[in-house]
Amino acid sequence: MVDITHKSTTLRTATAQAVVKVSKSETIEAIKNDTVPKGHVFAMSKAAGLLGVKRTPDILPDCHPLPIEFTGVEYDINGLEITVLFTVKTIYKTGVEVEAMHGASVVALNMYDMLKPIDKGIEIHAIKLLEKKGGKSDFRDRFRKDLKAAVVVCSDTISAGHKEDKAGKAIIEKLESCDVKISEYVIIPDEIEDIKAKAKQYEAEGIDMVIYTGGTGLSGRDVTPEALIPLLDRRIPGIEEAIRNYGQDRTPFSMLSRSVAGTIKDTLILALPGSTNGAKESMDAIFPAVLHSFRILKGARHD
């Protein structure tokens, strides 16, 4: 199956439809009057759909097992057509589009099975996804497309040429995938004044965000938070909490990180771990959602 361990858990919703077309009005009347020999068509078909949606990953090999936290089935009769609307909700890392379509299909097929003794001309049509919510595509278009970022690697070892930087490059890769332009990528030693100078320089240049990697641990040379916190106009604890919470689900050492988030005027400042995995996971935890902050900084109203 596709690796979804890097994704964040969010509310996911999907609605699918299936259309059952009978061949005579007597069939519709039998459904309405509950005279179908095999029982109550709508109630039994709904039950079949509820069972079916839970078995989706057992039948479709690439579907992830996930918690189904809501299932709703609605019917709409229009002439000889019965439209089935099947809605599924979960709070998880991946969507429920296939589950909704599978549920609608099972409901329609069960209706066919129950009605075939009294109607030999039943057809199933238009099984399709109507709507989905909760994935990253729902939010991507809401972000500005003109953002610029500077990436600063804080490391004595890397700045001295004794080690290759991978964390900074991982950050750049994520930024580019979010349509953020890289204005500068620089490697500096773990010196408080150097770290401060970069933040002041980029804010003066109007850079939208400055992302530091390294120096957020507990060693004597880890001084990035000490350098940046006095410069910040406002801390953003929610970003810091999201980074550590995401990391803690993946390693017990995330709680030791002192990642920092805040603003200097309209410039967003982020200080992330210096390890490659730490930097990558921190970016996965908050991007692209953190880009919404730039609409707020510019005075846009919340949706």
The number of CA neighbours under 13 Å toward the Cβ of 164 is 3
Residue 95: DSSP 8-state: -
Please tell me which residue in 113, 119, 156, 179 is annotated as part of the active site. Answer: 113
Q: Which amino acid is at 300?
A: A
Residue 38: DSSP 8-state: T
Q: What long-range pairs does 239-245 form, CB within 8 A, spacing at least 24?
A: 239/270, 239/286, 239/290, 242/285, 242/286, 243/272, 243/282, 243/285, 243/286, 245/285
Residue 292: DSSP 8-state: G
CA angle, corner 120, sides to 118 and 126, nearest 5?
A: 110
d(CA 179, CA 181): 6
Tokens of 122: 């039943």
Provide the β-strand partners of residue 95.
Answer: none
Q: Are 100 and 86 in contact (CB under 8 A)?
A: yes
Q: Are 272 and 266 in contact (CB under 8 A)?
A: no
34 is catalytic: no
The number of CA neighbours under 13 Å toward the Cβ of 33 is 9
Tokens of 80: 């000889």
Please give the full DSSP string across 242-267, using - where no structure is assigned: HHHHHHHTT-TTGGG---EEEEETTE
Please give the full DSSP string across 194-247, using - where no structure is assigned: HHHHHHHHHHHTT-SEEEEES--SSSTT--HHHHHGGG-SEE-HHHHHHHHHHH
Query: Residues with catalytic annotation?
Result: 113
